[in-house]
Structures are given as structure tokens and as C-alpha cells.
Structure 1
Amino acid sequence: MKVVVFGGSGLIGDGFVQESLRAPDVTEVITVGRSPMDTPHPKQRHVVHDDFLDLTPIRADLDGADACFWGLGVSAVGMSPHDYERVTYGYTLAAVRTLTELNPGLTFAYLSGAGTDSGERGRSRWARVKGRTENAVIDAFPNGYALRPAFVLPAHQQRSKTRAYRWGTAAVAPLAPLIRRLTDTAMTDTAQIGRAALHLARHGHERHVLENRDIVALAKHRDD
């Protein structure tokens, strides 16, 4: 299985990458980003690309992919509505258009978030834009999925690049074992998200929008 990961240098994108590299049935992992990236694993190849609104120059690298795990995203805090929509919706849709041409049967797992507005009518702009993006992915691919984790803990010794998130993780980490024993709706980690995406690529799922509880459940299937 050939897996393409967008946003592989980010916290959750790294979970997609690391779990894909560990999976015996994944033969190749293509990561796409603006900056060079170390690729010590023989299964991984990194493609440097600047314009995420036009993926035509890297079509050959994407061709033959069986799955795309989308971890590329930004916080709406401090961004103009136009820029947030361009990155969140525009970049994703450019990839969707290219990948549907190359392989309409591909599994596309889009990293969304808890609280996303599928109806696209709520007060929260970020939730509406995320919901619009989810709907576009699911409409484009029979195997299109939206992953909606709640609070995400780092795995694989990865750290968030966002200072506030690092502080939040440090504060929550001591309570994480208790929270996880009490509920599966509030927290997951990057390894679980990666394993859930791989499970979707192998087996699909009856639902196309998967909440935190669903991600935790899928991650328990050790079917690699």
C-alpha cells in the first residue's frame, strides 16, 4: 500500500507517518511539504512543493497512491478569514481534485476536529469551514473520511510547534491515564490517529465522520 501524507512535519501528521512506516503492508510513504525533511526510513520519500493550490507538478509522485492522510492545517487564531479558508479548504480541495483524477477509489482521511459543523451554518467560522471541507472530501471519495479527535496527546516523542499547545499538554499529561480510563470521548494520541487512518485504508467504515470515541476504537484493531 502506498500512502501519501500531507502535513507530515506537524504533530498529528507525524503520527500518520510513523504508524505508516511501522505497518508491514505499507510499502511506500510519500510526504509532501514546503521544506526539506529528514527521511531516515527506506520506505519514506519526501517531496518538496510550494504551491498547495496546484499539485500538477507532483502528480507523478502522487500517482498510484492507495491512501492519503491529510494532516495539513492551521489554527484560525490570528488568521484572516480569507487565509484560513484558503489553507483549510483551498489546499485540501486542490489535493482532492488531483487525487480523484489519479485514483477515485483512494482512501482519503481528513484530519478535522471535535466541534466541526457539518451543516456549515453555525456561528463559528472555523467550524463551518472545517465542515465544508469534510463534506467536500466525503462527497468526492466513496472512501473519504473525516477524523474528529478531541484533545490530542503527542506520541513517538513528538512535540507540538505551538507553545500554548505544549503548555496544555504538560498540564493535562499527569491526568491523562485517569481521563482515558473514565472516558474515550475526550482524548486520543497521535499514534491512535495514525492507526485509525490505516484501519480505514484497509477496511473502510460504515460512517464517514468519526469522532474521538470512534478513533480510539479503530486504533485498537491490530490488523497490520
Structure 2
Amino acid sequence: MKVLLTGATGMIGGLILEQCLAANKINQVISFVRKQSGQVHPKLTEVVVADFCDYSVHEDLFTHVNAAYFCLGAYTGQVSNDMLKQITVDYAVAFARQLSISSPNAKFCLLSGAGADRTEKSKTPFALFKGMAENQIATLQLDSYSFRPGYIYPVTPRKEPNVAYRLFRFLYPIMRVFGNKYSIRSTDLAEVMFYVGINGTDKQILENADIIVRKPK
């Protein structure tokens, strides 16, 4: 099997990459990156992308693909709203569109987020842009899945990107008490995204609780 991936240096993209490299059924992983990571593996090819809005120069790499994962993103407040929209919407749609042209039978997994607003009326940039991305990808000839996790608890400790995430990490044990709607472990999210990319599932939009119940036994 052949897999494409963006966002491999991020928390979830990195975990999905690990799953791909460990899976016997996968023999080729192409990771689109801003710069080389230095990681070496016989299955892995890193491709430096100059413009994440245009994959035409890499279209030959999109042929005969079985699964693709878009995990590239930015935190609200980390970049301007214009840049957040470009990363969240334009980058994701460009990737999915090229996949739909070159490998229309591939499964495409989008790392979206809780609150993604498909009415596109939200005043919150994150929710608005995630909803816009989902809507545009849904129009493509593609077997696509949008994952909407709540707070993602990093199983491997990291430096949190902002105060809100430090607070959420502290509150995570309490959030778990309130059920499956609000939080998920990073490893569980990555495992389910990997599984769905390979096998598919019966829902196109997976909220936090939907993701948790699909964790492979």
C-alpha cells in the first residue's frame, strides 16, 4: 500500500507516521514537508514542498495512493487569521483536490476539530475555517473522513503551545469523567485515523465520541 502524509512533524501526524512505518501492509510512505527532518526509513520518502497550495509539480507522487492523511495545522493566535485560513482551508483543499484527480479511490483523512462549523457562520476563526475546509473537500470525488477531536491529550509530554493548552492538560483527568465528548488521548486519535485511512468506516464526520468508540480492540 502507498500512503501520503502532511504534518508529520506535528503530534498527530508524527504518530500516524509511526503507525504507517510499522505496518507490514504499507510499503511506501511519502511525507510532504517544509524542510527535511533527517528521519531515515526504507519505506519513507520526504518531499520538500515550496507551495502547499499547488501540488501540480508533485502530481506523479499522487498516483496509485491507497490512503492519505492531512494533519498540517496551526494554533489559533500562533499566526494571523489570513495565514490560519490558508493553512486550514487552502492547504488542505489543494492536497485533497490533487488526490481526487490522481487517486480518486484513495481514502482521505482530514484532521479537523471539534466545533467545525459547516454553516460557515461561526465568528470563531478555527471553527469557521475547519468548516470551510470540510465543505470544500466534501465536493470532491473522494472517500473522505473528517476527524473532529476535542482536547487532544499529549501522551508524550511536550511544551504546550499556549496557556489554554497548559490548563487543558491540567484539567484532563476531570474532562474524562464527563465522558467521551470532550477529550481524547493523542495515541488513540492517531490509531483511529490510521485505521480508518486503511479500512474506511461508516461515518464521514467523526466527532470526539465517534473516534473513541472506533479504537481498534
Task: Find the counterpart in structure 2 of residue 190 from structure 1.
Answer: 186
Q: Residue 160 and residue 29 in structure 1: after superposition, are their counterparts in 2 closer, same or farther (change >3 A)? A: farther
- Residue 139 of structure 2: SS of its match in structure 1? helix
Deviations 1:145-186 (A, max 9, x none): 11000111224x46356254663465246x2xx654651222
- Residue 114 of structure 1: SS of its match in structure 2? coil
Q: Residue 160 and residue 101 in structure 1: after superposition, are their counterparts in 2 closer, same or farther (change >3 A)? A: farther
Q: Residue 121 and residue 159 in structure 1: after superposition, are their counterparts in 2 closer, same or farther (change >3 A)? A: same
Q: Which amino acid aligns with 1:98?
A: Q
Deviations 1:77-96 (A, max 9, x none): 25433222222111111112
Mind listing any 5+ residue stretches in structure 2 that lack a counterpart? none
Q: Residue 190 and residue 27 in structure 1: after superposition, are their counterparts in 2 closer, same or farther (change >3 A)? A: farther
Task: Find the counterpart in structure 1 of residue 195 from structure 2.
Answer: 199
Q: Residue 158 and residue 27 in structure 1: after superposition, are their counterparts in 2 closer, same or farther (change >3 A)? A: farther
TM-score by length of 1: 0.86
| 1:171 matches 2:167 | no
* Identity over aligned pairs, percent: 25
Retained in 1: the 8 A contact 2:153–2:169?
A: no
Where do residues 57-72 of structure 1 align in structure 2 (5 Å cutoff)? 57-72=57-72
Retained in 1: the 8 A contact 2:5–2:68?
A: yes
Mind listing any 5+ residue stretches in structure 1 that lack a counterpart? none
Separation (CA, whole Å) in 2 of partners of 1:26 and 1:165: 37
Retained in 1: the 8 A contact 2:180–2:208?
A: yes
Aligned CA RMSD, in angstroms, stands at 2.2
Q: What is the deviation of 1:112?
A: 0.6
Separation (CA, whole Å) in 2 of partners of 1:43 and 1:163: 35
Q: Residue 86 and residue 182 in structure 1: after superposition, are their counterparts in 2 closer, same or farther (change >3 A)? A: closer
| 1:217 matches 2:213 | yes
Q: Residue 48 and residue 142 in structure 1: after superposition, are their counterparts in 2 closer, same or farther (change >3 A)? A: closer
Q: Residue 39 and residue 161 in structure 1: after superposition, are their counterparts in 2 closer, same or farther (change >3 A)? A: farther
Separation (CA, whole Å) in 1 of partners of 2:138 and 2:195: 17
TM-score by length of 2: 0.88
Identify the range of structure 1 (145-154 vs 70-79) with the bigger mean alpha-carbon deviation.
70-79
Q: Residue 202 and residue 79 in structure 1: after superposition, are their counterparts in 2 closer, same or farther (change >3 A)? A: closer
